[in-house]
Amino acid sequence: MLARPQFRPLPRSFFDRDPRRVARDLLGTILVGRDARSLLAGRIVETEAYLGLNDPAAHAAAGRTARNLVLWGPPGRAYVYFIYGNHYCLNVSCLPEGKAGCVLIRALEPVAGLERMARNRGLDLSALRSPAQLRLLTSGPGRLCEAFAITRPRDNDTDVTDRDSHLLVAPNVSDDLPRPRILATPRIGITKAAAEKLRYIIKDNPFVSGPRS
DNA sequence: TTATAGATTGCCT
DNA sequence: GGCAATCTATAAT
């Protein structure tokens, strides 16, 4: 059997909580993607919480549908959806089975497998030398999915707490001290419930999505 | 069966 | 800063 890196993912209990807590605590953790050939890793620097039935901006607000079924399942599963005819977005389900909260992963700081990410994004490898171009790899929910080749239906319902999954979330030991400075802001790109501060970012991290200001 | 908005991105002026 | 691309889920007819 081929040796490959092992990761101890976050436990299921981590996701069995209020999406706001999960969204905050996911900052600094590592999204790991892998296939037979490559290992991809990125540090999560931007998330958004979606609260379920009572959150007008959440897909779950429509109730249980074929698309959002994963949201009502057990915590710690990938919810992948297709948007604007162009892009996939990655969420992780929260709360116990029967409740539909989730966290949208909005931006990563690339850690490993940057060449593969660039290829997946259709970028020239010279992009890896320019900070501005580096941002284009995984700075945005659609971009990070393309970089990690995350699609639906294949990756939908993946258990990101299973060490054997091709997509998982692992703690980042080196990030625990000092605790990243966290900022809460309004969510991006929504029209309903747009005032609530449910977007969480690592302050001053250059890989957070949106204009650099 | 048809219409429309959407948890985005990249290219245009 | 504006807007087209491109398709799916859901609402409206």
pLDDT at A81 over 90: yes
The answer to whether the beta carbon of residue A59 comes closer than 7 angstroms to any atom of strand C is: yes
Q: Which residue has the tokens 């409740």?
A: A99
Percent of chain A predicted with pLDDT > 70: 94
**pLDDT value of residue A5:** 65
Cβ contact A66 with chain C strand, < 7 A: yes
> CB closer than 7 A to strand B: which residues?
A 48, 50, 57-60, 79, 83-87, 89, 91, 102, 104, 121, 136, 140-144, 187-192, 209
pLDDT in tens, A49-63: 999 999 999 999 999
Say if pTM beats, i.e. exceeds, 0.85. yes
Under a CB-based contact definition with an 8 Å cutoff, are residues A26 and A47 in contact?
Answer: yes
The letter for the amino acid at A45 is V
Helix H or strand E segment including A144: helix A141-147
> What does the pLDDT look like over A113-162, one tens digit per residue?
999 999 999 999 999 999 999 999 999 999 999 999 999 999 999 999 99
Task: Give all domains of chain A, ordered by start, each with its CATH number.
Answer: 8-202 (3.10.300.10)
Which residues are within 8 A (CB) of A155 and not within 5 positions of it... i.e. 6 or more apart?
A78, A80, A90, A166, A167
Residue A104 has pLDDT above 80, yes or no: yes
